[in-house]
Chain A
Amino acid sequence: MAEEQKPEIKLPAAHAVPKAPAAMAVAPWEDALTRNLKEQFGDEITEFSTYLGQNFLVARPEAVVPILEFLKLEEDFDYVVDITAVDYPARAERFELVYIVYSFARNQRIRIKTRVADGFEPATAVGVHLTANWLEREVFDMFGIRFAGHPDMRRILLPEDWEGHPLRKDHPITRVDERWVKENLGIDSAQ
């Protein structure tokens, strides 16, 4: 969907940028922290990488909450900065969940990423970090990813009976829930 809309702009030769690689050009990430995590979680964590000086790891969805807990209790990562998602509809596991955590003691920020298929319900992180409550609700609202065990799994920004999850790539930018608009606002169209 997004691909179709993008205008093809020809670059002038003088400003030509080298052709972008198809995948992120990552370098491996290895230090004391990754060794501890490897020891603790083994092959639950599939990748330790760094890109532009920012470290991240990729883990199986079941391992994310235990990792967050381990990082909080053992490694001082006591602040969940953000929880968000990215939609890659072409992949079998189309959503990439991104947890950004920070440690005040180490002044270090890392990302934990995991891939989930549509319909899969990853476990909630509210039991470990209270911040996760609203952040996960927003992910659900925008992407339709339900978090299992969340105390209050409702939409947060859009109305509760709204249809559609706007940040999915197959959701066109102009689409609104016409039924909701008619019923609640009494107008024919929101466009």
Chain B
Amino acid sequence: MPESTFLDATELVLNMGPQHPSTHGVLRVVLKLDGEKVLGAECVIGYLHRGVEKIGENRTWQQFVPYVDRMDYCAAVSNGLGYCLAVEKLLNLEAPPRAQVIRVILTELQRIASHLIWLGTHAMDIGAQTPLFYTFREREEILNIFEKYCGARLTTHAFRIGGLQYELHDGFEQEVKAFCDMFPSKVDEYEQLLTANRIWLGRTKGVGILSAEDCKQYGVTGPLLRAAGVEWDLRKAQPYSGYEQYDFRIPTGMQGDTYDRYMVRMEEMRQALRIIRQAVDRIPDGPIMAKVPKVIKPPVGEAYVSIEAPKGELGYFVVSDGSTQPYRVRVRPPSFVNLQSLDRMVRGGLVADVVAVIGTIDIVLGEVDR
């Protein structure tokens, strides 16, 4: 036998994206294949790069708040919270209790909304069309609450450095409570569609496994880390905005596969709802804005503040030179860091699973590319 025959020439390079419906935006993945088997995957990113960090250096501290919404546009409220907390840390001040509780309610609603987008699109990528319509139906309710509160649905600009701009509108509590009463049965509904569905199990069980050790090596956080069995959530590990006052559980998985991540996120939605229920009953009276000067000039220094965004650890490293503009704003995006593990997760699997794995990482390209 000759050493290599044409039968060995099976290696194929397949270009997936940037215009591919399952890449959730403009992600290009170059796959090296041996038939149906994936030998390696390389991500080509940057199509949505807008230079957010450079823009930050050319805006004042307050002017930059609306820009951060445009990174992870599925979770704009969480982005805003992280940035405001970072600048508040530099200024060494805290938002008043009333503002903190309202922040928690809105951020947890946003977590549910973000997970709903993930669930709908992830299921659709795998071939289940129905959940998308179900999840967007409930997401609409959340966006309506946002719209009534701050006038915007997607890029909300809900928070300000030092607290909140707007007082709650009449009936906010009732709307949130009505959502809390309605939503649990809807989560059960999604679970009825998927949890024991044979096709769903076949497409997610044992697919894209990432062990706890791998997660730490790749810096992967959020639901991916928890699905690998690590009970770690920044809301518990390093509480901010008063999260230590709420009673909630960190769901974890065992295998670290796509199915476990699905179960973890489903449970996270229920836990987020628990937090919202507790928070809405205890909104204290008082001011919604701390005493913040009209012109913000943090003293010379630097700080790194991170929050548990729906997708993982979202951090802001801010450097002040004592002027009205940030000297440097670094965003530590969970999607970017998590996406790096794609190669590890798809290697040795099938081409069809790449789609499932991209969905399960839950990336937003606006945040990957910034």
Contact = CB atoms under 8 A, between A and B. Distances in A.
Interface of A: 2, 5-7, 9, 11-12, 15, 17, 20-25, 51-52, 54, 78-82, 84, 86-87, 98, 100, 104, 107, 109, 111, 129-131, 133-135, 138, 142, 155-159, 166-167, 171, 173
A173 B304 CA distance: 24
A6 B237 CA distance: 39
A173 B55 CA distance: 7
Contact of B330 (A80, A82, A129, A173): A82
Contacts of A11: 293-295
Contacts of B92: 52
7 contacts: A11-B293, A20-B297, A54-B303, A79-B219, A82-B332, A156-B45, A173-B58
6 A-B pairs closest in CB distance:
A20-B322, A131-B219, A157-B46, A15-B293, A82-B332, A157-B49
Interface in B275-319: 293-295, 297-304, 306, 313, 315, 317, 319
Contacts of B230: 104
Interface residues of B, number: 49
Contacts of A167: 53-54
A99 to B, nearest CB: 11
A111 B304 contact: yes
B205 interface: no
A156 B46 contact: yes
Given A21-B299, A129-B217, 15 more contacts: A7-B324, A17-B293, A23-B300, A52-B89, A82-B317, A100-B315, A104-B232, A129-B219, A130-B218, A134-B340, A138-B336, A156-B46, A157-B46, A166-B54, A173-B54
Given A52-B89, A159-B46, A131 B337 contact: yes
B304 A109 contact: yes
Contacts of B327: 2, 86
Contacts of B58: 2, 5, 173
A107 B46 contact: no
B94 interface: no
B303 A52 contact: yes
